[in-house]
Amino acid sequence: MKRNHVFILCTLIFPLFAFSVKAAENLILENTFLKLEFNADSGALSSMVNKKSGSEYINRASGYPPFVLDVTPANRSWFIKDYSLGEFGGFSLANPESIGLVPGDIQRIRNGSITAGKITSASSGKTLTCTYNIPPSISVITTVTIRDDSPVTIWKIRVRNDPSKQPKEDLRLFRVAFPVIEGLALGKNHADDFLARPFVQGQLIPDPASYSFFTPTNWAKRDNVLTYIGWACMPWQDLYDSGGGLYLASYDPTFQQIDLETFPDKGKESITMDIRTLAPLYPGQSWESQEFAVAVHDGDWHWAADTYREKSSVLLKPVPKPEWVREADGWFGTGVPNYKYEDLPAMYEQAQWLGLNYLQIWSEMLEPVDENGKRKGYYCFFIPDAARGGEQGMREGVRKVRAAGGHIGFYSNAWTFDATLPASLLKYHEQIPSDVKLPDWWKEFRAHSSVYPDGTREAGNYLDGYAGMCVGAEGWQDYLKYWIVDKYVRDYGVDTWYVDSFPVTMFGAARVCFSTEHGSERPHGVGRGCLELLRKLKEGSSGTVNLAITSETVSDALTQYQSHALGLELVGDLMNYPKPEIFAYTFPEFPIFSGTCDNYFGVKDYYPGEKTKFTHEDSLNRVFLIGNRFDVIGYPLQKDSSYWLHVKKLIALRQAIKSELLSSHFKDDIGLESLPSKVEAKIFRNTGGKSLTITLLDRRDKKEPFTLTVDSLKLGVKPLRTAVLYTFDGEKTISLKKAAGGKLILALPARKDNPAAIIIR
């Protein structure tokens, strides 16, 4: 097709050419909080001012409208070949520096002419409406609404894709990037900016305009693009400096798949922030977006987290969760097949020695081996291994743990399958009950597999990789539900379950699936499929047990059905500048278990520049610091080991302050004043304002006495009178003095322990 559209392949860094505009008076939306100026001819955002600080947020206005349409020719193949759709393990491989250098099928259009731009007034504020015509036959309407009493503006976009006069020029819409906010450098100086974004449980990047957006060892290439539901645990990000910040969020109760995108410009003078929504649209159809929030604010990322938490109470509809998970201090178990099912009671006894009542166990299934006896994990056929006791051994082992008051759960991977099935299981036919159906790739399961945008599928086996399944495929959901609910919950008796690589590390699967066999939503993102799978597990187990569901990393959308999640904040080489406090502060009541499963080597990333040799104990100390539960996989443990003695003491320390933690919300470091070098502290506020709990890590070689000052007015607590210090050796009252302005001054004595806690009442 002759491409007679003017379009830009490079949309999220400096434009390739200047936008031609006529001189016109800007369209202005403002209140006491902010002022937005839009070019009357292009609709481009030319200025954004925080009126409280007087700071200008736009360093380089692009001159382009605040949207990008990703389109393809409608009469070509259903599949799309484009470099920007490459991915690895749930990450997009998009490299903005290569845009325009590698040919592809996607046109990125943002050059439509504005036909109308007007501001209308209402009793509570104003709305700017801009209408665009995009050749050959696409129309776009954008609205920006500002209320008189709020720093939050609401943006929406509507796209109508009409048939063109020449059918060969018809376009198919794929995605819409909106709002696209370019040229961002707060106060026109990027060096002091920080970017808070929801990578894993949170990331806080200094000077993002100068950041490479590469993961530490480059194993996932780039992390500019965070998919939600996926590596983005929430659908918002925040850019701020000492003068305030800019908050960008998606408010969508239907959970359309989005990408949160952040790109530095080539000159390292500013960044672009946008949200790209999957919006398949054929000629003759229209699409209307969810609401997007754009706000200026005082302070740092805590303001953004507070704002999103308030909005999420409307967007998220959580179902009741089992209370025992909230009470749990951690889990114990094993990730390898080093046990028989008759060993489960002994494993539980070791958990009790640590102070835990929860077993989390992986590698429970029959795992075929090669000619050398080597096993492959992540297997997709979940029958209990006959060599370790089979179904009856599983039932009996689980029954004994539950009878002793314990909780126990096992494992499945959300994505992996073996395309050689059922052939690879035939040699185990005597170990598999006759009433258990063997999955067959060609007869059924290929139809449930994930299809990449270019039409390819993975079709690996347990020796050379995996066939990637699609969690949006109803047949795959039902297969997982059969094993988890019908077998492990109802038959074997478990009361919790772990879904691995969910929603993040997608073995052989695409973030956007192009299958034509998975329902009417085509193509579809994986996020809604993740939600639907958890709904089926939760509702399917109802009446048998209030199933506790956990997974590999957290997503606020999935917490509607999950009871807890594995934290990845300590995984080595996953991310730079980890800041798990962001999720913990936004959703302080959601339990996260951290410390062991996926390695703990990322603890070094919390102490850049230090040459200290960090240990597993150091990682678990950080788990304690931010109030997470302990993930301590490691059966069988050695009771005389210094490591396991440390774990036991940490759990006891958490239990000593648990009643306060459970009645408090994590407030990060709000109200805490300066600390000695190598001393860290976090604060938890009782929800009724009756107390404060402070966790401490003192990594100094010589732990000398020091004073800790707390600004109680910032935390809004009632008058407090006493302070008790909790350490591995017990508890004791310490000096608490009151100073002007609501300051509390605590005298911390010299001690030998690293982690400690203080409760102020």
- For residue range 294-312, list pLDDT tens digits in order: 999 999 999 999 999 999 9
Give the model's confidence band at 24: pLDDT under 50 very low, under 70 low, under 90 confident, else very high: low
pLDDT of residue 379: 82
Torsion of CA 526, 530, 533, 537, to 10 degrees: 170
3-state per-residue secondary structure call for 437-502: CCCCCCCCHHHHECCCCCCCCCCCCCCCCCEEECCCCHHHHHHHHHHHHHHHHHHHCCCEEEEECC
User: Rounded to 5 degrees, what are φ and ψ at 136?
Assistant: -85, -25
DSSP string, 282-340: -TTEEEE--EEEEEEESSSHHHHHHHHHHHHHHH--PPP--HHHHH--EEEEESSS---
681-739: pLDDT as tens digits: 999 999 999 999 999 999 999 999 999 999 999 999 988 999 999 999 999 999 999 99
pTM of the model as a whole? 0.95
Q: Label residues 302-330 b or e (16+ Cβ within 10 Å = b).
A: bbbbebbbebbeebeeeeebbebbeebbb
Residue pair 215/576 in contact by the 8 Å Cβ criterion: yes
Q: Which amino acid is at 648?
A: K
pLDDT score of 20 more than 50? no
Contact 105, 15 (CB under 8 A): no
Cα separation, 108 vs 173, whole angstroms: 10
Estimate the share of the chain in helix, then strand, then coil, as percent rounded to the nearest 5: 20, 30, 45
Task: Tell whether the model's pLDDT for residue 555 goes beyond 80.
Answer: yes
Mean pLDDT of 437-445: 94
Query: At 101, is the pLDDT very low, low, confident or very high (cuts 50, 70, 90)?
Result: low
Residues in the chain: 761
Distance CA 696, CA 621 (A): 9
Residue 539: its H or E element = helix 527-541
Asked which of 372-376, 412-416, 426-430 is least confident by mean pLDDT, the reply is 372-376
**Residue 6 in this model has a pLDDT that exceeds 60:** no
How much is the average pLDDT of 151-178? Answer: 96
Provide mean pLDDT across the span 474-489: 97
Taking only the tens place, the pLDDT of each residue in 310-322 is: 999 999 999 999 9
Q: Which residue has the tokens 């994930």?
A: 450
* 560-579 average pLDDT score: 96
Q: Does 2 score more than 60 pLDDT?
A: no
- What percentage of the chain carries pLDDT values higher than 90? 82
- Please list, residue by residue across 246-268, b when 16 or more beta carbons sit within 10 angstroms of its beta carbon and e when fewer do: bbbbbbbeebbbbbbbbbbbeee
pLDDT bracket for residue 100 (50, 70, 90): low
Is the model's pLDDT at 575 over the cut of 50?
yes
408 forms bridges with which residues in the sheet?
A: 359
pLDDT over threshold 90, residue 465? no
| Beta bridge pairs of residue 173 | 71, 281
Mean pLDDT of the chain: 92
| Residues 695 and 710: beta-carbon distance below 8 Å | no
pLDDT at 254 over 60: yes
